[in-house]
Amino acid sequence: MGYAKTAMLMAAMTALFMGLGYLMGGATGMVIALIFAAGMNVYSWWNSDKMVLRMHNAHLVAPGDRAGLNALVGQLAKNADLPMPAVYLIDTPQPNAFATGRNPENAAVAVTAGLMQSLSREELSGVIAHELAHIKHRDTAIMTVTASFAGAISMLANFALFFGGSRERMGIMGTLAMMFLAPMAAALVQMAISRTREYAADKEGAAICGNPLWLAAALQRIEAGARRVENVAAERNPATAHMFIINPLSGHGADNLFATHPSTENRVAALRQMAGGAGARRERAAPAPATGDWSGARSMPKVRRKSKNGPWG
């Protein structure tokens, strides 16, 4: 999906927000909703990275960490012609990752402890390259603002139940309908933005790391891990689920209107096609999780919750 279509989706989200404000308070409610939306966007633009990282209890990874995570991110950022982003570790055993920040100069890449412990260096390179692609395409700000809109629309819809809106305009049944339909519509727009951008980030990420099959193998391993391991912070903040490389809330991933992410199977197939049709033949040669000099990072002790920078700091 191009930027024009993204702008249309964001305009639809704004219109939905204002429409709900109108149903609750007429023209005055619509104006208030617009002002609130503008303020929310400004706040999200300047604080998106801090908000999301705080939600997921992420710790900054210090330069020169013994796992070499900063060095790996730095090399891939150089490949992508990007400034070095901040690197964070999330204290959860579920393998996953996301990027955030309003622009490439103020970006961050966050990986989970479970990701570090379950992927090979090559697979991790594919995941980080994917997140750097989101930064390069400036997806991170758009996805964060969309999450803010979705949360705010859900909040307004709940207010409609308690305050009743304008009885003349929609009545009690209309109020109840808006309470359920408005958050659903917001979620659909949010999902559409996320799903379409994942394919573009997969393609760019494969170019950054140099091998589409590394990312393909990583996606399969992450999805399997997400099925088994709960991400408690993501469950508490479901509006951020679309930011992760794989949906952290569940293992299912049908490529349909209600999925926060494209089907992993479809993404893997596209990456294998990028590899020149050799993906199926080279699948067995994909890096195994316990090989190479990355084994040292995999054998590190479990995450210490009280550590300021985590075990990779």
> Which residue is catalytic, options 105, 122, 123, 131?
131
Q: Are 96 and 226 in contact (CB under 8 A)?
A: yes
Interatomic CA distance for residues 283 and 296, integer angstroms: 25
Residue type, 14: T
Q: What are phi and psi of 93, to 5 degrees?
A: -75, -10
Torsion of CA 64, 68, 70, 71, to 10 degrees: 90
- Spatial contact of 310 and 61, defined as CB atoms under 8 Å apart: yes
Known active-site residue 131: yes
Catalytic residues: 131
